[in-house]
Amino acid sequence: MNWYTLILTELLGTAILIILGNGIVANVVLKGTKGNNSGLMPITFGWAMAVTVGALIANALGGVAHFNPTVTVALAIADKSGKLGFGNYTGIAPIGMFVLVLIFQFIGAIIGQLIVNFVYYKHIQKTLQSGSIEDQLSVLAMHSTAPTERNWIFNFAMEFVGTAVLILAILSFGKFIGGNGLPSYYAPVLVGMVILAIGLSLGGTTGYAINPFRDLAPRLVHQLMPFKNKGSSDWKYAWIPVVAPLAAGIIVGAFFLI
């Protein structure tokens, strides 16, 4: 498979992930939407479906459907062949693939968030009209995560544990999917189920980013968004949903390398 297929499917799939994932958050938290105040359950199921739909599309088009730098890092570490998890792709060195995948994931996340902001433009404006901190936080929530209780130790632990479960599941599923095992299209469905389980079980504390770019790229879009009274982008917290997932990916990936 050509390297550019992987790169473009990572961009497309990550954009779809953010469109559907932060799209459901926007539908729940913004004023005047048909899903306003419908609660955590639609968000949790919406994010699970966002992962599943994005991955199914990317896989159908010939991609690997990482959409998450933590997944890319973990698979690269766990790959004993030294090909960084990109053994079936040709035309570029594995390290080049690794770097390009990360870049295009980030770009895809930005594009996805820009699309969400465009389609919910009027509702964002309506929500920010009051100028209240609560409404400002609602708009931030459709971009990035935030903890219910601010304690960096517990917040870091939640993101670490949630991501560790995700990476452990992905690397474990790889043992019986593909080759003579289950067809590869089972993987997105199974991973979607894992995302659903993580959201239902652990999502009540930090919003379970479990993906650095899912949080960082939309937070950057929020920072640059030209809306009046939008409030803070909360960069003091932003390091946790970046560092904790990456730490979990490195550790779990190294475990599978043993």
Taking the domains of the chain in order of start, what are their residue ranges? Answer: 3-257
pLDDT of residue 184: 77
3-257 CATH, one of 1.20.1080.10, 1.20.1260.10, 3.30.70.20, 3.40.50.360: 1.20.1080.10
24-34 average pLDDT score: 97
pLDDT of residue 178: 65
Through-space distance between the first and last CA atoms of the chain, rounded to whole angstroms: 29
216 vs 239: CA distance, rounded Å = 9
Distances in Å between the Cα of 213 and the Cα atoms of 8, 102, 161 are 16, 9, 18
pLDDT of residue 180: 59
pLDDT of residue 26: 98
Q: What is the pTM of this model?
A: 0.96
**Model confidence band, residue 81 (pLDDT cutoffs 50, 70, 90):** confident
123-130 average pLDDT score: 96
pLDDT of residue 211: 98
The answer, yes or no, to whether residue 45 has pLDDT greater than 80, is yes
Q: What is the pLDDT of residues 171-214, one digit of tens each?
A: 998 888 766 567 778 899 999 999 999 999 999 999 999 999 99
Q: HSE of 31 in the Cβ direction (CA atoms, 13 Å)?
A: 14
β-sheet bridge partners, residue 182 = 177
Cα–Cα nearest to 213, from 78, 66, 30, 41: 66
The answer, yes or no, to whether residue 139 has pLDDT greater than 80, is yes
The answer, yes or no, to whether residue 133 has pLDDT greater than 90, is yes
The answer, yes or no, to whether residue 8 has pLDDT greater than 80, is yes
The answer, yes or no, to whether residue 245 has pLDDT greater than 90, is yes
155-168 average pLDDT score: 98
**Residue in the structure block whose two tokens are 């997944």:** 71
83 vs 97: CA distance, rounded Å = 10
pLDDT of residue 171: 94
The token pair that represents 27 in the structure block: 């539908």
**Model confidence band, residue 80 (pLDDT cutoffs 50, 70, 90):** confident
pLDDT of residue 91: 82
C-alpha dihedral sign at 43, 45, 51, 57: negative
- φ/ψ of 3, rounded to 5, equals -65, -35
The SS3 call for residue 177 is: strand
37-50 average pLDDT score: 96
